Amino acid sequence: MRQRICVLGATGSIGDSTLDVVQRHPERFEVIALSAYRQMDKLSKLIQTHRPRYVAVADAAQAAAIEKQFGASGPAVSHGEQALSALARLPEVDVVVAAIVGAAGMRSTWAAARAGKRILLANKEALVSGGRFMVDTVKAGGAILLPLDSEHNAIFQCLPGDGSKTGRTLSGVRKLWLTASGGPFRTWPAERFAAITPEQAVAHPNWVMGRKISVDSATLMNKGLELIEARWLFDCMPEMLDVVVHPQSVIHSMVEYADGSFLAQLGSPDMRTPIAHALAIPERISAGVKPMDPWTLTGLTFERPDLKRFPCLQLAMQALASGHAECVALNAANEVAVEAFLERRCSFQGISQIVSDVLERVKVQPLDSLEAIEAFDAEARRIAALHFPA
Ligand code: NAD
Ligand code: MG
């Protein structure tokens, strides 16, 4: 039987890559539902190509426009935040691809977890903010969480199986090594950082991605968020995690074993590889990826991350060591600051300053429900926004 798929965040970069892989295997996959937030023209094209039964958009006006365009033969259209969760819960859906950017995707990811879906997770912020609460919901709901993030997918591929097709253990594992490209400013002296523009920050040397994650890669906050993501995905203590800068992005991450073995996953930097892996597991399918050519690999290099020039990584490590609320605040403050940076209301270095300030000022508390997490996230955003008086 074909796998029935819902892509939340279908118009984004991960959405593109996912639908590209899906379209190569019509005998395996069927697109049931798509969500989009802003790009209605792109959504229209996706509806024509993939013929989903359901779509969700941001507001009533967008919904009316799509309904008008496609009429009775088109998909059922809904709108708003609840519509995303409703798509994630649809009984006709087996696989939910969580590809929304930011904590905005947390509630729908949580809905997929409760409904026992197979979740292909790109939306790392949902796990950073959801923390233990999210992984407990996955377990209780009988859901399966598979990583699309290239580092976590690489680690997943290198970990021992637990006897099921989709589970992994840490048996015999000493350490998980996340590789980082170092971003576009890896070799820049600190003096130049004050003048960094959004255009320079989103021009990633190895990967083509959405704007927010591109800025996160430039500040190394992305690697910090990925440490927190790994902590929950693999249920490992923070001490087991480390980051190594590997500018060529050939090795996508490594697992170190007790006997001294390191297992690594290598390949071209193309998200369709981890997506195809997670879609087809335990089989392997073509992904349209230009294969890595070992003859062209000249020198793989490794360096320590520079926490002085890239304080966001340090802040994320501290949040991970401190607790759940700190991770929620870190993520929320970063989202506000990155948006401001992209709109030229904040400098590149201002991003880490705002995150640091919010972490100092926010009153940490235990977060034992989705509502409590959302309220705390909102409070951290409110404090971050104080840096940008209207
Ligand atoms: P993107 O900006 O290209 O796409 C984001 C998608 O989310 C779009 O479809 C957009 O419509 C939707 N969206 C944005 N805000 C929304 C909101 N408030 N409510 C509902 N939908 C909303 O981003 P991307 O690069 O595809 O990244 C998506 C997620 O995947 C991020 O969490 C990112 O960290 C993660 N990720 C991306 C890559 C990559 O190569 N692009 C790699 C690893 C992880
Ligand atoms: Mg990554």
Kindly list the domain boundaries of the chain, sorted by start residue.
3-147, 150-268+291-310, 323-390
**Residue 206 — very low, low, confident or very high, per pLDDT cuts 50/70/90?**
confident
Local structure of 386: helix, strand or coil: coil
In the chain, % of residues over pLDDT 70: 100
Arithmetic mean of pLDDT, 184-213: 94
| Buried/exposed 365-386: b ≥16 CB within 10 Å, e otherwise | eebeebeebbebbebbbebbbe
Nearest CA residue ID for atom 15, ligand 1: 101
pLDDT over threshold 90, residue 389: no
Arithmetic mean of pLDDT, 183-190: 97
Arithmetic mean of pLDDT, 46-60: 98
Neighbours of ion ligand 2 (CB under 5 A): 149-151
In the chain, % of residues over pLDDT 90: 98
**Residue 61 — very low, low, confident or very high, per pLDDT cuts 50/70/90?**
very high
Angle at 193 between CA 191 and CA 194, to 5 degrees: 90
**Residue 179 — very low, low, confident or very high, per pLDDT cuts 50/70/90?**
very high
pLDDT over threshold 80, residue 390: no
* CA dist 362 → 308, 333, 365 (Å): 24, 10, 9
> Does domain 323-390 fall into CATH 3.30.530.20?
no
ipTM for the predicted complex = 0.99
Reported as half-sphere exposure (CB side, CA atoms, 13 A), residue 318 has a value of 13
Through-space distance between the first and last CA atoms of the chain, rounded to whole angstroms = 54
pLDDT at 205: 79
Nearest to 233 by CA among 317, 124, 314: 124
Q: What is the mean pLDDT of the chain?
A: 97
Superfamily of 3-147 according to CATH: NAD(P)-binding Rossmann-like Domain (3.40.50.720)
* CA dist 163 → 147, 168, 276, 282 (Å): 18, 8, 21, 12
68 is in an annotated binding site: no
Angle at 42 between CA 38 and CA 48, to 5 degrees: 135
pLDDT at 146: 98
Which of 7, 11, 13 for a ligand 1 pocket mutation test, highest count of atoms within 8 Å of Cβ? 13
pLDDT over threshold 80, residue 318: yes
pLDDT over threshold 80, residue 257: yes
Query: Please, which residues have CB within 8 angstroms of residue 281's CB and are 6 or more apart in sequence?
Result: 146, 165, 166
pLDDT over threshold 90, residue 207: no
Task: Give Cα 103 to chain centroid, integer Å.
Answer: 10
Distance CA 17, CA 276 (A): 9
Distance CA 36, CA 19 (A): 13
Which of 8, 14, 204 for a ligand 1 pocket mutation test, highest count of atoms within 8 Å of Cβ? 14
Would you say the CATH fold of 323-390 matches that of 3-147?
Answer: no
pLDDT per residue over 76-114, tens digit each?
A: 999 999 999 999 999 999 999 999 999 999 999 999 999
Query: Please, which residues have CB within 8 angstroms of residue 219's CB and are 6 or more apart in sequence?
Result: 183, 201, 310, 312, 348, 351, 352
Calculate how far, in angstroms, residue 114's C-alpha sits from the geometric centre of ligand 1.
Answer: 22
pLDDT per residue over 144-158, tens digit each?
A: 999 999 999 999 999
Distance CA 92, CA 125 (A): 26
**Residue 204 — very low, low, confident or very high, per pLDDT cuts 50/70/90?**
confident
pLDDT over threshold 90, residue 249: yes
pLDDT at 298: 87
pLDDT over threshold 90, residue 227: yes
Amino acid identity at 212: K
Local structure of 66: helix, strand or coil: helix
Calculate how far, in angstroms, residue 209's C-alpha sits from the geometric centre of ligand 1.
Answer: 9
